[in-house]
Every structure is written in C-alpha cells, then in structure tokens.
Amino acid sequence: MDKNIFLVGLNHRSASVDVREKFALTSVTDFEKSLLAACPLREVLALSTCNRVEILVVADADRCAEQDITEAVLRHWAETCQGPLDVLRTHTYMHQGLEAVTHLFRVAASLDSMIMGEPQILGQLKKSYRKAVETGTARVIINRLLHKSFSVAKRVRTETAIASSAVSISYAAVELAKKIFGELSGKTAMLIGAGEMAELAATHLLTFGIDKLYICNRTYARALELAKTMHGEAVFFEDMVERLRGVDIIISSTGSPTAIIRAKDIREVLKKRRNRAMFFIDIAVPRDIDPDVNSLDNVYLYDIDDLKEVVEENMSARQGEAVKASAIVDLEVDAFATWMKSLALQPTITDLFGRAEDVAQRELAKTLKRLGPVDEETHEALEVLVRSIGHKLLHEPICFLKRRTREEGSAERFIDVTRRIFNLDGDAVNPDAHLDRRSAAEEEPLECECCRDPEPDQTESGDQPKQQ
C-alpha cells in the first residue's frame, strides 16, 4: 500500500463535553481546505457533531516517513480551534491503516455511538462526505472508504437487530402501546399534566397516527396552550375521569403528591367502555396512578421505573447484537484491504486480463455449442481469435494506465475508475449507487443529532442524553 490512512478524533468517551465544545469544528469545509494546504496530505474528510470529531486523512506513504502526520493534523486542529494542543492530545485517539478503516466502519454502523444503533450518525457522515466531495478534498480512497462505510452500516442494520428495539423511555412506551393495540390509528390518547418526557411520548403517539389527543391540566389555560401546539383538545381536570371512557392511552405526568387515578375509578370506566383495553403510562414521581390499576383485566400500567427497565433490557440486547455487527465490520475491513492492495497497477492489469480471458472463454463456449462439432484446427483458431480480441481491446487502456503511473508516480484515480468500469472487484451495483453523494443530505434532515427528537420512526428519543 503506497498510501496511508490516518484517523484522528475524539468522542463522548474520550473527552468531556467542555473539551468537545472547545474542539468542535465550526466550519468543516474550511478546516479540510486549510488542512490540505498546511500538511502534505492527499485527501481529507472531517466530521464534527456534538458527540464526536473525526478527521480522516490519506497521505503518501513516503511523506509519512518524513513527517508525523497525526501530529501535524493535531497541531492544525488545535490552531483552528484556538485550543491548547496538550489538552487536545490527551483526549484524542489516533488510528492508522486498517485500524482507521475499522474505526470509521464502526462509527458509520453506530457501534461507537453513545446510544448504540441510533441512525443519525450515518446521515451526518453522509453530509460530511458530500461536502468533502464538493470541496474536492475527498478523492479515490476516501470515496471508496465512505461508500463502503455506508454499505457496512446498511448491512449491520439489516442483518442484525441492533436498531430494532426502543432505547428511550418515550419510544419504549409507544412500542408497548403498539404491542397492546397493534395499529395506533383510530386510538385516542390523553396527556395529563405536562413535562418534557410526557409531551415527547404524546408527540410520538401522534407521529404513529393516533386519532385524537386530549390534554388535561389543573391549569386549564396551560391545557389550552398545549392543545394548541399539539393539535389536541383541552379537557378540564375535573372532567378527566369521565373523559377516560373514550381514551385508550393515558400519559400522566403531574406534580400531584397523591394518586389522581385510582383502581375504583377505572373499574367504572372499563364497564362504560365495554372492557376495551387501556394503557396507562405514569411518568410522574411521585406516581399519579394507583398501582392497583394494573391488576384490572385489560388494563396495563407502566411507571417510569418499568419503562427504564424495558430500555435497559433493550440496550443490553443491542450490546449482544454488537458482536454480530463487529463480525460484519471485520469482514468488510478485509474486503477494503484487498481493494487497497489492488490499487497498484500490476494487480489491476492481471485482473483485466483475467476478466478478458473469462469473457473470451464463455463466448467461445457459446459459439462452439451453436456451431456443433468442429475440428481441432478450427477450435484452436477460434480460441486464438477471441483471446487476441480481448488483449487488443485492453492494450490501449493498459498503456494509458502505465503512462500515467510513469508520469505522475501514481495513477490510483484512473486505476480505480478502470476497476469500477470493468467491475473487477465484483461489487454488487445498486441502480442508484451514484445518487449517494447527491442524495446524502436529502435522505434525512441533517440537524445536529442532539437538537432533534431522534426516534419517531426507528429513531432515538430526545429524552435520552445527547447522542450520535
């Protein structure tokens, strides 16, 4: 390999939030351009989110011997952020070669995230890649590496259950509601009291299609205000129990020191609603709903501790899936290493002849089958013919590659294109493979991951800590 890949970065594990704030890159594009200008690098890609900064660089192997590349990158990073280099050095990790590739694949597959399996990081990586392509700091190796990391992330998500269960309290509540009611369309919910987590759970329910949301608050004005923002209907606190007969899901989060909903109230409500199931989500501390409610038939009550337990179980299940995901990452790293080796001219020429030989033999076999029995001389003549056509066709492209290698010292850009044109690596080609760069930013809204509610449709929750 005559090119070296380096990755320098910090994340939520290696650095506290104040360090991450200090060394976050406000303009990734400017940083990439200035880094290319300041250091002897071929390619640069930087990713900066509130939980991590990753700087991926590619340098010529001979330049690496002359200069400590990672140190140069660190120095430039510290200068850009106007922060102390020593502090930065103590909080960063550095990877080189296949270790850097492994790290990047793990980041893309969300194995390195604070909430493992969350999907935002992939969108952020795609956005960074798109910018790097636009500014021209991402070329052959980073192009391939990033495309590969996207496909690794996709494989991990489809072949493992790493993102299949809820890891936030509000989303866990919605998942349970779906397990009880199936489709949530046609169902109604009531939000009693206020509170960020309760409002978030109600928002999730609306996202999943509940028909109506009632908002009940001791202060009717507050209920009206919330009802306006959440497109719900305000209900007087005194009417709450009476209105429950038409409500399937109840989220309670009041500051009441005693229970506001008791089993005897619900027994009456159940009769009126002909035993249709009810799901109570009690997020309040102290609890708003009498625990005896759970003993009634067709009534399910989850309080904050129960939901936390569900989330913890799901988190540990994701940890189990991470083992499978890591195996996928390892396989893909091996495949990438093979590709890196193939970027030299000689392996590509060998592969080209191999492909030509393969096509020639297949076409010859077809022709011979059509012709029927032929004498040995004809057979030999045909074989020479197809082989020489293949070789003649490849002659000019191979001369071109040799010439460019001689003139520029390296022609990996053309070698890569050649390998892709002839599909020498046998990659599966998606019909929309080339839309990746352009559509990267369009696929998902790309706000900072900690500023959005992350789990409405297999996304994480905002009541979790900041994540990526």
Partner 1 sequence: MGLPDFLPILIIGLYFFGTAFYVLGSALRNERIKIMALVLGGVGFALHGLDLAQQLAGAQAPGPLTSGRFLFSLLGLGIMFIFLVLWWRLKMRFLAVVALPLALVFYATADATSGIKATLPPMLTWLFFLLHIGTLFASMAMLAMGAGAGAAFLHLEKRIKTKTGLKKFQQDMPSLDTFDKVNHWVIVAGFPLYALGLVSGFVWAWLSSKRVFSFDPKEILALVMLGLYAYLFHQRLAYGWRGRKPAVLLIGVFLLMVVSMLGINFLVPTTFHGFKP
Residue 275 or 338: which CB sits closer to partner 1?
275
Least separation, in Å, of the C-beta of 325 and partner 1? Answer: 16
Query: How many chain residues are in contact with partner 1, going by CB under 8 A?
Result: 23
Contact by Cβ (8 Å): 278, 248: yes
Contact between 310 and partner 1 by CB under 8 A: the answer reads: yes
The runs of H, that is alpha helices, within 251-303 are: 263-272
Contact by Cβ (8 Å): 125, 147: no
Contact between 135 and partner 1 by CB under 8 A: the answer reads: no
Would you state the structure tokens that stand for residue 259, as one six-digit string?
Answer: 């229970």
- Concatenated DSSP letters for 70-104? HHHHHHHHHHHHT--HHHHHHH-EEEETHHHHHHH
**Annotated catalytic residue within 50, 81, 448, 450:** 50
Contact between 165 and partner 1 by CB under 8 A: the answer reads: yes
> CA-to-CA distance for 205 and 188, rounded, in angstroms?
9
Contact between 31 and partner 1 by CB under 8 A: the answer reads: no
Least separation, in Å, of the C-beta of 365 and partner 1? Answer: 33
Least separation, in Å, of the C-beta of 111 and partner 1? Answer: 20
Identify the residue among 5, 25, 28, 176 touching partner 1 (CB under 8 A).
Answer: 176
Residue 179 or 403: which CB sits closer to partner 1?
179
Contact between 268 and partner 1 by CB under 8 A: the answer reads: no
Contact between 418 and partner 1 by CB under 8 A: the answer reads: no
Least separation, in Å, of the C-beta of 175 and partner 1? Answer: 8
Contact between 181 and partner 1 by CB under 8 A: the answer reads: yes
Which H or E element spans position 289? none
> CA-to-CA distance for 260 and 51, rounded, in angstroms?
40
> CA-to-CA distance for 122 and 68, rounded, in angstroms?
30
Contact between 297 and partner 1 by CB under 8 A: the answer reads: yes
Contact between 164 and partner 1 by CB under 8 A: the answer reads: yes
Least separation, in Å, of the C-beta of 34 and partner 1? Answer: 49
Residue 182 or 354: which CB sits closer to partner 1?
182
Q: Calculate the alpha carbon distances from 134 to 46, 98, 125, 282, 447 in Å.
A: 13, 26, 14, 49, 19
Q: Candidates 14-22, 234-242, 305-313, 345-353: pick the segment binding partner 1 (CB under 8 A).
A: 305-313
50 is catalytic: yes
> CA-to-CA distance for 174 and 70, rounded, in angstroms?
46
Least separation, in Å, of the C-beta of 277 and partner 1? Answer: 7
Least separation, in Å, of the C-beta of 16 and partner 1? Answer: 33
Contact by Cβ (8 Å): 458, 163: yes
Residue 84 or 182: which CB sits closer to partner 1?
182
Would you state the structure tokens that stand for residue 361, as one six-digit string?
Answer: 């033999």
Contact between 306 and partner 1 by CB under 8 A: the answer reads: yes
Q: Calculate the alpha carbon distances from 29 to 138, 222, 305 in Å.
A: 11, 45, 45
Identify the residue among 22, 178, 355, 391 touching partner 1 (CB under 8 A).
Answer: 178
> CA-to-CA distance for 354 and 371, rounded, in angstroms?
26
Identify the residue among 89, 139, 276, 420 touching partner 1 (CB under 8 A).
Answer: 276
Residue type at position 339: W
- Longest CA span, the chain: 101
Residue 23 or 302: which CB sits closer to partner 1?
302
Q: What is the DSSP letter of 449?
A: G
Residue 274 or 370: which CB sits closer to partner 1?
274
Q: What angle do CA 244, 188, 238 make, to 5 degrees?
A: 30
Q: Candidates 10-18, 141-149, 173-181, 228-236: pick the segment binding partner 1 (CB under 8 A).
A: 173-181
Cα dihedral 128, 129, 131, 132 in deg (nearest 10): 120
Q: List residues near partner 1 by CB under 8 A.
A: 161, 164-165, 176, 178-182, 274-277, 294, 297-298, 300, 302, 306, 309-310, 313, 317
Q: Which residues are catalytic?
A: 50
